[in-house]
């Protein structure tokens, strides 16, 4: 048996409806052992609904949610997960060490308070009351609570919101260390660079569907766009009319062209404007791929409506 393809949690043909509103529409999603899966999508795409279903906080209208092959509401299954939710006000008169001690008590084989604090970078805060911490420090404490039970699967919902760059990078390092230890992580985030830096697999959601699933490179390849940026006197509208040009706009003093055939467009650009300067050519990042995917989805949604 290959442990690397064990299924830790899954949604199988799950729909979730609230009255007339369909939050999720027959979604299949699988989280495998030892992977960091990032779930991306605009607000209302169904990310939080999917997480809530996997945590057993809500029940599917149709289909099945599984956590370690069981009902997510079974406490035996939840004893192997760690959770960091987007909005959770912890009892703020408790000290960080007390919160860690309490949360660790729910688990069969937790880390020591010192170890959890060390991993999340809150070792110096253990004696401080939670309410005296800054927003970024509180997020790190919540991260410590998520990992203190030695979970096999961590759910992190927008974990780095409100963190400065240094804190964010520390958290990234900690996430990588956990994955290296063999934990799986489900990460929802608005920061595409976060998914790009950490995720082995990316699921993009929109309007309650899974739009794309695969590695970061797969996702980029799905939208094989290149971005050309330069200072040029050429008219954007004219360039937009050329063959192979996806779009051309003027931003500040610069012309920005997206294209799937960069070489052809470049040749023509350089020919048409000998004075062209400050040329930049860049393969589309996850951000562009993401925008492209969700735009297609919006268009499809409007046509269907």
Partner 1 sequence: MNAMATTVAASLPTGMTKRRVLGAYLAEARSECLRYLRSPGFLIPVMIFSCMFYLLFAVVMGGSFGHGASTYLLASYSVFGIMSPGLFGFGASLAIERDNGLLTLKRALPVPPGAYLIGKMIMAMVVAAGVVVLLLLMAEFLGHVPVTPGMAAGLFATDVLGVLPFCAMGMWVGTLIKGQGAPGLLNLVYLPMSFLSGLWIPLPQLPHALQKLAPIFPSYHLEAIALDVVGMAQVTIWPHVLVLIGFAVVFLGLAMRRLRRHG
Q: In the complex, what is the shortest distance from the CB of residue 8 to partner 1, in angstroms, rounded to a whole number?
A: 5
Q: Which is nearer to partner 1, 102 or 291 (CB)?
A: 102
Q: In the complex, what is the shortest distance from the CB of residue 78 to partner 1, in angstroms, rounded to a whole number?
A: 4
Q: Which is nearer to partner 1, 32 or 176 (CB)?
A: 32
Q: In the complex, what is the shortest distance from the CB of residue 47 to partner 1, in angstroms, rounded to a whole number?
A: 15
Token pair recorded at residue 226: 């290149």
Side-chain-facing half-sphere of 76: CA atoms under 13 Å: 4
Q: Which of the residues 194 through 233 are near partner 1 (CB under 8 A)?
A: none
Q: Which is nearer to partner 1, 58 or 300 (CB)?
A: 58
Point out which span in 55-63, 161-169, 199-207, 222-230 binds partner 1 (CB under 8 A).
Answer: 55-63
Question: Do the strands 184-188 and 36-40 form a parallel or antiparallel pair, or are they unpaired?
Answer: parallel
288 Rama class: left (phi>0) / alpha (psi -120 to 50) / beta: alpha
Torsion, Cα of 58, 61, 66, 72 (10° steps):
30
Contact string 71-110 vs partner 1 (x = CB under 8 A)? ----xxxxxxx-x-xxxxxxx-xx---xx-xxx-xxxxx-
Contact string 261-300 vs partner 1 (x = CB under 8 A)? ----------------------------------------
How many secondary structure helices (H) and strands (E) does the chain include?
Answer: 11, 13
Token pair recorded at residue 176: 């990588």
Q: In the complex, what is the shortest distance from the CB of residue 94 to partner 1, in angstroms, rounded to a whole number?
A: 5
Decide: 216 and 241 in contact? Cβ < 8 Å: no
Q: In the complex, what is the shortest distance from the CB of residue 292 to partner 1, in angstroms, rounded to a whole number?
A: 29
CB-based contacts of 9, cutoff 8 Å, min separation 6 = 30, 31, 54, 65, 66, 67, 68, 72, 153, 186
Does the protein bind partner 1 through residue 243 (CB under 8 A)? no
Token pair recorded at residue 188: 């929802």
* From 41, 56, 121, 206, residue interacting with partner 1 (rule: CB under 8 A): 56
Q: Which of the residues 148 through 187 are near partner 1 (CB under 8 A)?
A: 149, 152, 155
* From 66, 194, 288, 292, residue interacting with partner 1 (rule: CB under 8 A): 66
How many CB atoms are closer than 10 A to CB 7? 13
Through-space distance between the first and last CA atoms of the chain, rounded to whole angstroms? 46
Q: Which is nearer to partner 1, 75 or 275 (CB)?
A: 75
Angle at 289 between CA 285 and CA 291, to 5 degrees: 115
Point out which span in 19-27, 50-58, 211-219, 243-251 binds partner 1 (CB under 8 A).
Answer: 50-58
Q: Cα–Cα distance between 104 and 144 in angstroms, integer?
A: 10
Does the protein bind partner 1 through residue 33 (CB under 8 A)? yes
* Element of type H or E holding 225: none
Per CB under 8 A, residues contacting partner 1 are: 1-2, 5-8, 30, 32-33, 55-57, 66, 68-70, 75-81, 83, 85-91, 93-94, 98-99, 101-103, 105-109, 129, 149, 152, 155
């Amino acid at each position: 048996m290959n442990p690397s393809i064990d299924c830790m949690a899954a949604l199988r043909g799950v729909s979730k409806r609230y009255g007339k509103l369909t939050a999720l529409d027959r979604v299949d999603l699988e989280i495998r052992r030892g992977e960091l899966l990032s779930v991306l999508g605009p607000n209302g795409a169904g990310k939080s609904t999917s997480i809530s279903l996997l945590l057993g906080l809500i029940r599917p209208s149709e289909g099945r949610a599984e956590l370690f092959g069981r009902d997510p509401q079974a406490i035996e299954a939840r004893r192997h997960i760690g959770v960091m939710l987007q909005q959770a006000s912890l009892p703020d008169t408790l000290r960080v060490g007390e919160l860690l001690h309490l949360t660790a008590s729910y688990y069969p084989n937790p880390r020591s308070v010192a170890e959890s604090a060390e991993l999340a970078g809150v070792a110096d805060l253990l004696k401080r009351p939670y309410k005296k911490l800054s927003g970024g420090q509180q997020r790190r404490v919540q991260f410590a609570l998520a990992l203190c039970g030695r979970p096999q699967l961590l759910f992190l919902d927008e974990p780095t919101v409100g963190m400065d760059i240094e804190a964010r990078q520390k958290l990234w390092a900690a996430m990588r260390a956990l994955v290296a230890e063999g934990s799986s992580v489900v990460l929802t985030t608005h920061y595409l660079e976060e998914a790009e830096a950490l995720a082995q697999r990316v699921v993009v959601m929109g309007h309650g569907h899974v739009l794309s699933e695969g590695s970061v490179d797969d996702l980029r390849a799905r939208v094989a766009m290149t971005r050309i940026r330069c200072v040029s006197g050429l008219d954007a509208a004219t360039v937009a009319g050329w063959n192979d040009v996806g779009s051309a706009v003027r931003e500040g003093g610069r012309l920005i062209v997206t294209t799937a055939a960069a070489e052809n467009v470049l040749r023509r650009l350089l020919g048409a404007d000998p004075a062209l300067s400050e040329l930049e050519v860049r393969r589309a990042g996850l951000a562009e791929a993401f925008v492209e995917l969700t735009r297609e989805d919006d268009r499809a949604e409007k046509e269907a409506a």
